[in-house]
Amino acid sequence: MSPARSTDGPRSDQTPIHVAIIMDGNGRWAKARGLPRFEGHRRGVEALRRAVRSAIEHDVRYLTIYSFSSENWRRPPDEVAVLMGLLKRFIRNDLADLHKNAVRVRVIGERESLAPDIRVLLEEAEAITRENRGLSLIVAFNYGARHEIVAAARRLAMEARDGRIDPDSIDEESFASRLDTADIPDPDLIIRTSGEMRLSNFLLWQAAYAELVFMPILWPDFDEAAFVAALEQYAARERRFGAVIKPTAVMTAS
C-alpha cells in the first residue's frame, strides 16, 4: 500500500470525497470459469484490496463498500458462511496494514443478529483505527437502507415521545444524524459493477445527489484502471463545460 494521506491536504473538486461501491458479479465471474461461487467471493476480496489502494492513491476520503446486505441472508447457508468467513479473514489479515496506512475502519448495518465473534472483530477494527485520519473505509455489513431509515424514524419517534425533541423541529439534518452514517458525508459517486443498474437497498437516503456509475466489469476483475475510469466519468459529469482534469494528474500535483 502507498503512504497514508491525511484528510487535511489540498484536493481537486473533480475528485469525489466519498465513493461507495456495490461490488457485484462474483458469482458470474466464477461461473464463467467453471469455478465454485466462493472462489468468486475470494477473488472479490482481492479486488477490494485493490479498491482500497486506489482510493488512497486518488485521494478519496471515504470509501463505502457493500459487503453483505440484509437480503444476503436469503442465499444458501454455505455461501453465507463463506461471506462471514471472508469478512473475518479480511479483518484479521488486513487490519494491521490498513492501520499502518492510517485507514479508519467504520461499520454500518445491523450488528445484533451477527455472530458474537464477528461483532467483536468489527468493534476491535473500529476501536483500533478510530484516531486514524487517512481514508475512512466504511464496511456496510448486514446493511439495508430501508432498515436504517426505519430505525432512524423510530429513534426520532421515541425521543419525541419522551419529550426530548419537539416533533416540529425534525428536519433533514436531524433525521440524517440518526442514520448509521451520521457523521459521514453523503457519497458523491456510487459505482456498481457487473452491469446491473439498481441500488439494491444501498444508501437510499444518502444517494439523493450521488452520481451513479454502472460498469460492465465483474467485481473480481475490478482494478485501478476501472477505478480511474469511474472517477473520470464522475469528473466529466461534474464539469459540463471546460476540460476534464484527470484524477491521476491531480494526485501528482497535490
Strands 136-143 and 62-69: parallel
What angle do helix axes 37-57 and 77-100 make, rounded to 10 degrees? 20
Among the listed ranges 7-15, 40-48, 181-189, 233-241, the one in contact with ligand FPP (CB under 6 A) is 40-48
Catalytic option among 26, 72, 78, 186:
72
Site string for ligand FPP, 217-236 (x = CB under 6 A): --x-----------------
| Sheet containing 104-108, strands listed edge to edge, beginning at the edge strand earlier in sequence | 104-108, 136-143, 62-69, 18-22, 189-192, 211-214
Q: Report yes or no: 44 and 212 within 8 Å, Cβ to Cβ.
A: no
Q: Which of 19, 20, 21, 45 binds ligand FPP (CB under 6 A)?
A: 45
What angle do helix axes 116-129 and 77-100 make, rounded to 10 degrees? 20
Active site residue 26: no
Q: Report yes or no: 186 and 17 within 8 Å, Cβ to Cβ.
A: no
Q: Which of 12, 28, 186, 232 binds ligand FPP (CB under 6 A)?
A: 28
3-state secondary structure of 110: coil
Dist. CA 115–CA 138, nearest whole Å: 20
Q: Is 44 in the site for ligand FPP (CB under 6 A)?
A: yes
Per CB under 6 A, which of residues 70..109 are in contact with ligand FPP? Answer: 72, 83, 86-87, 90
Cβ partners under 8 Å of residue 129, min gap 6: 95, 98, 99, 103, 104, 105
Active site residue 78: no
The DSSP secondary-structure symbol of 187 reads: P
- 192: cell is 456498481
Of 83 and 250, which has the nearer Cβ to ligand FPP?
A: 83
CB 23, min distance to ligand FPP, A: 4
Q: Is 41 in the site for ligand FPP (CB under 6 A)?
A: yes
Cβ partners under 8 Å of residue 61, min gap 6: 7, 11, 17, 18, 135, 136
Site string for ligand FPP, 136-175 (x = CB under 6 A): ----------------------------------------
Buried b (16+ CB within 10 A) or exposed e, 102-114: bbbbbbbbeeeeb
Q: Which of 67, 70, 101, 129 binds ligand FPP (CB under 6 A)?
A: 67
Among the listed ranges 65-73, 119-127, 158-166, 244-252, the one in contact with ligand FPP (CB under 6 A) is 65-73
Of 72 and 201, which has the nearer Cβ to ligand FPP?
A: 72
CB 31, min distance to ligand FPP, A: 7
Q: Is 7 in the site for ligand FPP (CB under 6 A)?
A: no
Q: Is 191 in the site for ligand FPP (CB under 6 A)?
A: no
Q: Which residues have a catalytic role annotated?
A: 24, 72
Residues found near ligand FPP in the complex (CB under 6 A): 23-28, 41, 44-45, 48, 67-68, 72, 83, 86-87, 90, 194, 219
